[in-house]
Amino acid sequence: MTDYLRAKVNLDKWTENELIDYDSAKDFELKLLAFWNNKKMQISITQKKLPEEDQGKLLLSECKTRQETINNLPPVRSTIEGTYHSLANKPVLGWHPNWEQLFPPKKEK
Protein backbone atom coordinates (compact mmCIF):
# COMPACT_ATOMS: atom_id res chain seq x y z
CA MET A 1 0.00 0.00 0.00
CA THR A 2 2.83 2.38 0.86
CA ASP A 3 4.50 1.84 -2.53
CA TYR A 4 1.19 2.44 -4.28
CA LEU A 5 0.66 5.77 -2.52
CA ARG A 6 4.27 6.88 -2.96
CA ALA A 7 4.15 6.09 -6.67
CA LYS A 8 1.01 8.18 -7.14
CA VAL A 9 2.54 11.12 -5.27
CA ASN A 10 5.83 10.80 -7.16
CA LEU A 11 4.17 10.66 -10.58
CA ASP A 12 1.87 13.56 -9.67
CA LYS A 13 4.87 15.68 -8.60
CA TRP A 14 6.76 14.83 -11.78
CA THR A 15 3.72 15.85 -13.81
CA GLU A 16 3.23 19.09 -11.86
CA ASN A 17 6.91 19.97 -12.31
CA GLU A 18 6.56 19.16 -16.02
CA LEU A 19 9.25 16.48 -15.90
CA ILE A 20 6.76 14.09 -17.48
CA ASP A 21 3.41 14.35 -19.20
CA TYR A 22 0.47 11.98 -19.52
CA ASP A 23 1.99 10.23 -22.55
CA SER A 24 5.27 9.62 -20.69
CA ALA A 25 3.43 8.18 -17.69
CA LYS A 26 1.36 5.95 -19.99
CA ASP A 27 4.50 4.81 -21.81
CA PHE A 28 6.07 3.95 -18.44
CA GLU A 29 3.05 1.80 -17.56
CA LEU A 30 3.17 0.08 -20.95
CA LYS A 31 6.87 -0.74 -20.49
CA LEU A 32 6.15 -2.24 -17.08
CA LEU A 33 3.22 -4.21 -18.50
CA ALA A 34 5.40 -5.57 -21.32
CA PHE A 35 8.01 -6.67 -18.79
CA TRP A 36 5.27 -8.33 -16.69
CA ASN A 37 3.98 -10.20 -19.78
CA ASN A 38 7.45 -11.43 -20.70
CA LYS A 39 8.29 -12.53 -17.15
CA LYS A 40 4.92 -14.22 -16.77
CA MET A 41 5.55 -16.23 -19.93
CA GLN A 42 9.12 -17.13 -18.89
CA ILE A 43 7.97 -18.31 -15.47
CA SER A 44 5.12 -20.37 -16.96
CA ILE A 45 7.65 -22.14 -19.20
CA THR A 46 10.60 -22.54 -16.84
CA GLN A 47 8.88 -22.95 -13.46
CA LYS A 48 6.01 -25.33 -14.28
CA LYS A 49 6.75 -27.50 -11.26
CA LEU A 50 6.39 -24.64 -8.78
CA PRO A 51 2.99 -24.27 -7.12
CA GLU A 52 0.93 -21.50 -8.71
CA GLU A 53 1.21 -19.33 -5.60
CA ASP A 54 5.01 -19.54 -5.75
CA GLN A 55 4.96 -18.71 -9.46
CA GLY A 56 3.00 -15.59 -8.58
CA LYS A 57 5.41 -14.65 -5.80
CA LEU A 58 8.32 -15.11 -8.21
CA LEU A 59 6.61 -12.91 -10.80
CA LEU A 60 5.98 -10.20 -8.21
CA SER A 61 9.59 -10.37 -7.05
CA GLU A 62 10.92 -10.08 -10.60
CA CYS A 63 8.67 -7.11 -11.33
CA LYS A 64 9.58 -5.30 -8.11
CA THR A 65 13.26 -5.42 -9.05
CA ARG A 66 12.64 -4.08 -12.57
CA GLN A 67 14.69 -1.01 -13.45
CA GLU A 68 12.83 1.28 -15.82
CA THR A 69 13.06 4.96 -16.70
CA ILE A 70 10.57 7.72 -17.40
CA ASN A 71 11.84 10.15 -20.06
CA ASN A 72 15.29 8.61 -19.53
CA LEU A 73 15.18 9.49 -15.82
CA PRO A 74 15.20 6.86 -13.06
CA PRO A 75 12.00 7.13 -11.03
CA VAL A 76 12.00 7.78 -7.31
CA ARG A 77 12.12 4.69 -5.09
CA SER A 78 8.81 2.79 -4.86
CA THR A 79 7.50 4.21 -8.15
CA ILE A 80 7.91 0.96 -10.07
CA GLU A 81 6.47 -1.21 -7.30
CA GLY A 82 3.62 1.21 -6.73
CA THR A 83 2.80 1.45 -10.42
CA TYR A 84 2.60 -2.35 -10.59
CA HIS A 85 0.20 -2.32 -7.63
CA SER A 86 -1.87 0.35 -9.38
CA LEU A 87 -2.06 -1.78 -12.52
CA ALA A 88 -3.09 -4.79 -10.42
CA ASN A 89 -5.83 -2.73 -8.76
CA LYS A 90 -7.33 -1.64 -12.11
CA PRO A 91 -7.11 -4.83 -12.78
CA VAL A 92 -4.78 -4.88 -15.78
CA LEU A 93 -2.46 -7.56 -14.43
CA GLY A 94 -2.17 -10.01 -11.57
CA TRP A 95 0.44 -12.08 -9.83
CA HIS A 96 -1.21 -15.51 -9.64
CA PRO A 97 -1.01 -17.41 -12.95
CA ASN A 98 -4.82 -17.66 -13.03
CA TRP A 99 -5.58 -14.22 -11.61
CA GLU A 100 -8.22 -13.47 -14.24
CA GLN A 101 -10.26 -16.55 -13.28
CA LEU A 102 -9.76 -16.03 -9.55
CA PHE A 103 -10.51 -12.29 -9.62
CA PRO A 104 -12.73 -11.55 -12.62
CA PRO A 105 -13.14 -7.84 -13.35
CA LYS A 106 -16.25 -6.32 -11.84
CA LYS A 107 -18.78 -5.19 -14.38
CA GLU A 108 -19.53 -1.49 -14.23
CA LYS A 109 -23.15 -0.52 -13.63
What digits encode the pLDDT tens for the residues 40-65? Answer: 999 999 999 999 999 999 999 999 99
The residue with greater pLDDT, 81 or 104, is: 81
Helices then strands, counting H and E runs in the chain, come out as: 5, 0
Burial of 48 (0-12, 13-18, 19+ CB in 10 A): exposed
Tell me the pLDDT band of 105, cut-offs 50, 70 and 90: low
Helix (H, G, I), strand (E, B), or coil: what is residue 105?
coil
Given this model, what pLDDT does residue 71 score? 83
Whether pTM > 0.85 for this model: the answer is no
